[in-house]
């Protein structure tokens, strides 16, 4: 009647795939306990790690849980414990991990009536509370693992994209908070046709490179000419990090989700460690506190512990 789960961090956008592409990390994630109880309703009983609201309607995990609860209308209730390791506003899908965790755990306790796409659909409601806009590019990789492409939000359609086996990510998190809602508000409503052409050429070839394990093509495709010029201004020393990563052998770098984390994709663990060391060296000089780590691409996604 109780289940403990690991809900992973994720990188959304992946340079040219704003709001549609994402991948799943395996070295960072939240732990959550979901419990079946007699008393009807959804109650958050414990939150550790960060200060977040306990009221279900104000909590991302609570809102997605309520969406599923209202669909099932069971004659019992659920309690949720959240052990948060992913800092809210860090750009690696903190709200998505919470939103997905509650519904994944409830689904397990209910005997798995819902598909992964349906779980993502419930979780969109929770995610929307945090970012004030519905998007699933962090939710889908957390649920499915690996790389995912949100083909359409309505109806929700998710494609799983293969992850080349030797692909690693280096993530630096400069310790400032950027709210997704705010970093969405600074984006332009319209884009130039020439920029759109460049972006979809890169996006198509990035997807092709993931299908064909073509690291050279991946390197040529990991560019973002639409979002990065705006959001890079919010991240201190962004271009220094990026240049350092590319010089140290990264295939490409970009803003992770809405920032401030910056991801670099690398071929092999050795390259990923080199990139980590190089970025660490330059960022140590900025006086800004940061975390930096290397992660494998997590092809499993959210799981029972």
User: Which of 81, 127, 228, 244 is flagged as catalytic?
Assistant: 127
Q: Is 152 exposed, middle or buried (0-12, 13-18, 19+ CB in 10 A)?
A: exposed
Q: What span, in angstroms and rounded, lies between the C-alpha atoms of 203 and 249? A: 21
Nearer to ligand HSE, 59 or 256 (CB): 256
Q: Point out which residues bind ligand HSE (CB under 6 A).
A: 12-13, 18-19, 131, 135, 137-138, 180, 184, 257-258
Nearer to ligand HSE, 135 or 278 (CB): 135
Beta strands across the sheet bearing 262-267: 252-255, 262-267, 167-174, 290-296
Q: Are 211 and 162 in contact (CB under 8 A)?
A: yes
Nearer to ligand HSE, 74 or 229 (CB): 229
- Least distance from C-beta 223 to ligand HSE, angstroms? 16
- Least distance from C-beta 67 to ligand HSE, angstroms? 19
Q: What span, in angstroms and rounded, lies between the C-alpha atoms of 236 and 224? A: 18
User: Which of 10, 120, 148, 180 is flagged as catalytic?
Assistant: 180
Give the 3-state secondary structure of 37-60.
Answer: ECCCEEEEEEEECCCCCCCHHHCH
Q: Are 262 and 255 in contact (CB under 8 A)?
A: yes
Nearer to ligand HSE, 81 or 125 (CB): 125
Q: Which two tokens stand for residue 67?
A: 């969406």
- Least distance from C-beta 83 to ligand HSE, angstroms? 21
Q: CB nearest ligand HSE: which residue?
A: 257
Q: Are 292 and 283 in contact (CB under 8 A)?
A: yes
Cis, bond preceding 260 (omega within 30 deg of 0): yes
- Least distance from C-beta 227 to ligand HSE, angstroms? 7
Residue 180 annotated in active site: yes
Nearer to ligand HSE, 95 or 274 (CB): 95
> Which residue, 37, 85, 27, 29, is CA-closest to 65?
37
Q: Are 147 and 297 in contact (CB under 8 A)?
A: yes
- Least distance from C-beta 43 to ligand HSE, angstroms? 27
Nearer to ligand HSE, 58 or 185 (CB): 185
The answer to whether the Cα torsion of 303, 60, 84, 231 is positive or negative is positive
- Least distance from C-beta 180 to ligand HSE, angstroms? 5
* Percentage helix, strand, coil for the chain under 3-state DSSP, each rounded to 5: 40, 30, 35
Cis, bond preceding 140 (omega within 30 deg of 0): no
Active-site positions? 127, 180
């Amino acid at each position: 009647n109780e289940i403990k789960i690991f809900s992973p961090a994720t990188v959304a956008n992946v340079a040219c795939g704003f709001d549609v592409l994402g991948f799943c990390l395996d070295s960072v994630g939240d732990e959550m306990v979901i419990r079946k109880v007699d008393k009807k309703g959804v109650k958050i009983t414990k939150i550790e790690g960060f200060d977040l609201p306990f009221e279900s309607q104000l909590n991302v995990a609570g809102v997605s849980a309520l969406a599923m609860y209202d669909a099932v209308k069971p004659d019992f209730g659920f309690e949720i414990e959240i052990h948060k390791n992913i800092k809210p506003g860090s750009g690696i899908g903190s709200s998505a991990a919470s939103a997905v965790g509650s519904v994944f755990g409830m689904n397990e306790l209910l005997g798995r009536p819902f598909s992964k796409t349906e779980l993502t659909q419930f979780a969109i409601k929770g995610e929307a509370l945090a970012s004030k806009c519905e998007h699933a590019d962090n939710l889908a990789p957390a649920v499915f693992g690996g790389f995912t492409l949100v083909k359409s939000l309505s109806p929700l359609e998710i494609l799983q994209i293969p992850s080349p086996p030797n692909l690693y990510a280096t993530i630096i998190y400069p310790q400032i908070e950027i709210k997704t809602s705010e970093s969405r508000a600074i984006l332009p409503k319209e884009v130039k046709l020439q920029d759109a052409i460049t972006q979809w050429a890169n996006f198509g070839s990035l997807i092709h490179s993931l299908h064909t394990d073509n690291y050279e093509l991946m390197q040529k495709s990991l560019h973002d000419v639409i979002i990065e010029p705006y959001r890079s201004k919010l991240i201190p020393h962004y271009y220094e990090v990026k240049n350092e990563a590319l010089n140290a052998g990264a295939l490409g770098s970009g803003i992770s989700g809405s920032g401030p984390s910056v991801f670099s994709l690398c071929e092999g663990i050795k390259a990923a460690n080199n990139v980590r060391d190089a970025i660490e060296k330059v960022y140590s000089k900025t006086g800004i506190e940061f975390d930096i780590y290397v992660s494998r691409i997590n092809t499993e996604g959210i799981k029972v512990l």
